[in-house]
């Protein structure tokens, strides 16, 4: 997987780093494991190479979350923990 997240576990702010294999439209979203919260972090065209974004997690929610990167070739996902 070309997806890394740091720090993990996270308190508030974290960074997503993704190796984009081909130019395409991508959606990056953060979802709580129970489906209660969803936050779209990015939607648009990415060029081949490394994409990095720093963002905040849900301020009042604690627990396990999933970062999903959705492109035409499928979905790449990784769990993160907020404490």
Q: Is the previous residue joined to 7 through a cis bond, with omega within 30 degrees of 0?
A: yes
* pLDDT at 62 > cutoff 70: yes
The CA distance from 71 to 83, in Å, is 29
DSSP 26: E
46: number of Cβ within 10 Å:
18
DSSP 35: S
Q: What is the mean pLDDT of the chain?
A: 92
Strand partners, 56: 13
The CA distance from 42 to 19, in Å, is 15
Q: What is the pTM of this model?
A: 0.89
Question: What mean pLDDT comes out for the span 66-71?
Answer: 95
């Amino acid at each position: 997987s070309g997806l890394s997240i740091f720090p993990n576990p996270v308190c508030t702010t974290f960074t997503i780093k993704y190796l984009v294999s081909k130019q395409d439209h991508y959606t990056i979203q953060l979802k709580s494991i129970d489906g209660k919260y969803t936050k779209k972090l990015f939607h648009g065209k990415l060029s081949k190479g490394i994409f990095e974004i720093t963002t905040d997690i849900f301020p009042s929610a604690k627990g396990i979350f999933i970062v999903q990167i959705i492109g035409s070739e499928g979905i790449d996902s990784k769990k993160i923990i907020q404490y």
